[in-house]
Amino acid sequence: MSQQVLEKLQARFPDAIAGSHAALGNETALIKRESLLEVMRFLKEDCGFEMLMDLCGVDHLPETPRFEVVYHLKSFSRGYRVRIKVRLPEDDPTVDSMVPLWKGANWYERECWEFYGIKFSGHPDLRTLLLYPEFQGHPLRKDYPHKKRQPRIPLLKPETR
């Protein structure tokens, strides 16, 4: 079923699709960064993908482009699922925010920014979500030093036993 969605994307955006594949019921399209917002708007408004189920970052170090953002979309009305991927270079890991289309993208994008350093342009509140503000670096990057010591912050309330 979702194969029809990939065919619609290829027909509507032939220059925006960098590749696609379908394996074991997982239809995936690789979209060029500059076309992502337009493609996602088409998927939501014309193809009926009501829900952004998940968004995650991937670090492909040492490959180039290094980073990837993966979006999982679901259409409950049609029973379709599709995976959208966009690759981002190390020197400019920036992509358009999906918050204007799906409000649920807010926290997913904040988490992705916090752990991978991928920026989402147009995001309404791109600040730390799970780590404390003084945390330095992006801990899920493959080149993050696993023995790095973070600055200590004073406890708000001392622990007692």
For the chain, what is the mean pLDDT? 93
Check whether 50 has a pLDDT greater than 70: yes
Distance in angstroms (rounded) separating the CA atoms of residues 110 and 85: 18
The topology under which CATH files domain 2-121 is Beta Polymerase; domain 2 (3.30.460)
pLDDT tens-digit series, residues 100-147: 999 999 999 999 999 999 999 999 999 999 998 888 999 999 999 989
Quote the CA–CA distance of 52 and 123 in Å, as a whole number: 16
| Max Cα distance, the chain (Å) | 66
Q: Which helix (H) or strand (E) holds 37?
A: helix 36-45
- Strand ranges in the chain using DSSP code E only, listed in sequence order: 17-23, 26-31, 51-59, 67-75, 80-88, 94-96, 119-121
Could you tell me the residue ranges of all domains in the chain? 2-121
The proportion of the chain whose per-residue pLDDT surpasses 90, expressed as a percent, equals: 79
Q: Which of 2-6, 56-60, 126-130, 146-150 is modeled with the greatest confidence?
A: 56-60
Res 62 pLDDT > 90:
yes
